[in-house]
Amino acid sequence: MVKVGFIGEGKTEQLILQSGSFQKWLSNHGIERVGKIIDAAGSGNLLPHKIQPLRDELLGFDAEKIVILTDLDNDTSIEITQKRIGEYTDQLVLVAVRKIEAWFLADTKLMSLMTDTAIFIEKPETLDEPFYVLQQLLIEKTGRGVGTKPVLARRMLKYGFTIEQAAQHPNCPSAQYFLATLQTLASAN
């Protein structure tokens, strides 16, 4: 079993990574999470001079690999995001294309359950502001919105969001890549 420490760019990523469904997925795939899931409190804290204390905390729990889940935000490529954060041999930077909230939109099963309507967003990862799209969709279909991204994340997790369901969407490659990379990491051990 490979020992992995996780860092999320913000609270939403942290909530997804510490969810029961994801923890079960890790266990089923031979990955032992070590330490707590760290909330970096924004992409500005995912810079080489600021990330080292976070890495040190996880390495103190004997993490063999450190996985960082972040958004592309306004960077022009995944490679730029990865280089901005810093490259270490024991670290994987996995990037949600645009914003992590697109993964919620990609979970078609969840969206349909929450809205009591068949919902299919063709290309969720091309949306500039998936949080806003989700907010408007929930207000329109349920009469109830969400105030903040962490509140949305908690609600989505409560109703059954999983990364695996998002990865089943034909146009959510970053969720697919995230799981495939972790599976490769586990099988390499």
Q: What is the pLDDT of residues 11-41, one digit of tens each?
A: 999 999 999 999 999 999 999 999 999 999 9
Report the pLDDT value the prediction gives residue 147, as an integer from 0 to 100: 86
Report the pLDDT value the prediction gives residue 111, as an integer from 0 to 100: 94
Average pLDDT, the chain: 94
Report the pLDDT value the prediction gives residue 188, as an integer from 0 to 100: 80
Report the pLDDT value the prediction gives residue 20, as an integer from 0 to 100: 97
Q: What single DSSP character describes residue 124?
A: G
Q: What is the model's pTM?
A: 0.94
Q: What is the pLDDT of residues 92-125, one digit of tens each?
A: 999 998 899 999 999 999 999 999 999 999 999 9
HSE at residue 41, side-chain half, CA atoms within 13 A, is: 4
Determine if residue 97 is left, alpha or beta; phi over 0 gives left, psi from -120 to 50 gives alpha, anything else beta.
beta
CA torsion angle 34 40 43 44 (round to 10): -130
The three-state DSSP-derived secondary structure of 25-51 is: HHHHCCEEECCCCEECCCHHHCCHHHH
